[in-house]
Structure 1
């Protein structure tokens, strides 16, 4: 994986003006600053709810639509101003579009050649913390580039070389997990942070006549092999690395490790051993994103 300035040349910050969206944009801006990347700020006007109510008079629909567009303009201007105040040298492109938000974001990623998307996990819907905002969830399921999912509580925790000391990279040895390795190493290198990697030996997914001890021993060997892959790549990049084989359900092991080791950033593949298609998140990743207290970089498996 190349240095962060080569890996990330453009960052997309979608916003709906909510506090959750601003948290995502702020942490995404951290990545843009670290990489010297161009910043794209996008707000999507979704008027389908207003236009779907036939009882509303046409004048009322026009007024409601205008109010939504004004909110979108304000949301974009707020983020653009934040970017300029943080680093005036960054190039900023602002866009307001119409349509289904996640579809517009997906199209914008492809058209503009975006490298990373940064979004809050809580938007205007005001959903509980353990439930992803519907737009963010759909973006995670569909875009072909890494998405930095930022929980509401991470809005004030900067991702900089001064503040980011520990990056966690879970692995299960699958192709989906390997896709995230280079990104985890890149961020640890950019922030001069310790890279932690963890493999969870989960015997609960095995049934049959095999002895639990034999299964655990086999999984631990697989885990050490998976960790060694991460160690090799980290050492080649000059990144300090530590690896752990844990036990139990992977999502719980990852979240517990993050809490106990003061992890500042997680990098995880969106497809693991379950072999789900690109448009579905792996269950482990989904559970981690839903419950993490720190930003989670979700890396889709490469098309090749």
Structure 2
């Protein structure tokens, strides 16, 4: 197993979960998600405790789900309330597993591990997604690759120069020095690009011409999230890598949830502090960002296929890979520590 079990993972966007159950495999476990009449979310093992047919194939009856195979009725607490044969007594303890679930920052978070350890304080702090003066939206990709490859990609933005040549990439990214900082179980990779011409997206967002200072700060938060502080400001503003709120600023929000050893649920978006009331711009930008991430998906899935086809070869790490290497070291250490506890 390559992931930490006792952690919160994003299971879905808030908009994905409604009254009709949806099925999603999280960290190797089949899960069914739906909303009760009071709009709270239920996360339940997607297997009928009778003959194991996926409950997501069943019929909703109020806040309960009736199995499509033999008609066992399962309540929102996971326990059977009615047997297939009339007047047959429900066996005590005939229940489907429930998972702790919390809605925060527009996401539905699920705890796959030991329920007693599910501490809401451990949910990653995606503060720009909920802060006043910011707006946030995004999308979802299912990627046929190890979730750690997506983290590698996001912690090394030098790939933008080549993978995203037509949108956010520019050669100045390769020329700027990078600083990698490890703080406990978090990693930051910082890049400051002073006095450069902005790429098309940031030029249009700033609504002015001329040289800018550009920054990228990639922040890995265990178990599997990356927030990327990005933006540009006019050179005359005098911003720095530590203080940069004079221009236009955004946070690329990335939550990678393992589905299996080689497949990943990728939830992405951007929180921004400019044009926050322009719904049309939000929709257009979401579409543009989706196109950028589609380019990443193509590369990452090809990389996974190549890894599978070349089992005698290993990934190598160079100076540009410091952030991803450090993030992987943290994941490995936490996985091993959890495994040692049993």
Structure 2 length as normaliser, TM-score?
0.28
TM-score (norm 1): 0.30
Q: Give the greater-gyration-radius structure (CA).
A: 2
Q: Which has the higher helix share?
A: 1
Structure with the larger strand share = 2
